[in-house]
Amino acid sequence: MKKFQPLEKRIGYRFKKKQLLHDALTHPSFRYENPETPSDNQRLEFLGDSVLGLLAADALMKKHLDASEGELTKLKSSITAGGPLAKAAREIGLGEYLMMGRGEEAAGGAVRESNLEDAIEALIGAIWLDGGLRAVRKFFDRHVLKVLGDVEPSVLNPKGTLQEFAQKNGFGIPEYEMIEQSGPDHDRRFVVQVSISTYGYTGEGRSRREAEKNAAEKAVKSLVE
């Protein structure tokens, strides 16, 4: 287990049960090629996914006191998605320590986003089992929560993010056009299209403002992210 000491120092947590760390870094392909290996990181990944969701929800509730349930849900999904998680894993160099089968390693498995995402979720599960809530929250705050800054603007203010992107790239100001209005007064439905350069994206909502925001969010996901 000595070879994992630099990683423990990097993440700021020293495992009491070293086997948990070993399991978290064991890709299923390694176990397949080495049948004597007792376990891989799949069960820890399952646990870590739930722990990650809890920590993200708690952090977002405390940080965004005025955010709606829908906005909190989108932010939580953004944090726990593959891209941001893989970025957090890369920043702590998790890929260097993954144990993989020869085929997976030769195919670039150490830098594959899905492997990095699974590994950091497994690591979160392992820290939870080894050190409890306090330890895993410290890891989350230090290494995962900071990716929130990369996704907040596009979720909470997609129109502003889209306009900034358009101006930086010489696309001009995005134009919003009402496409459809329907439904009774107490349950109206609006469909808006936002146009930027040669691209067009539609969004729906119970108000024009909500429809514009949803259209801008689609454009941001497609063009900016």
Catalytic residues: 49, 121
Task: Please enumerate in sequence order all residues whose Cβ is within 8 A of that of 134, keeping only pairs 6 or more positions apart, or say none.
Answer: none
DSSP classification of residue 140 = I
* Cα→Cα distances 38→49, 52, 55, 64, 117, Å: 22, 25, 29, 43, 22
Task: Please enumerate in sequence order all residues whose Cβ is within 8 A of that of 94, keeping only pairs 6 or more positions apart, or say none.
Answer: 7, 25, 116, 119, 120, 123
What are 215's two structure tokens? Answer: 């259209």
Please count the residues of the chain: 225
Q: Residue 60 corresponds to which amino acid?
A: L
Inter-helix orientation angle 113-139/82-91, to 10°: 70
What are 121's two structure tokens? Answer: 């979720």
User: Are residues 154 and 163 in contact, defined by beta-carbon separation less than 8 angstroms?
Assistant: no
Cα 56 vs. chain centroid, distance in angstroms? 10
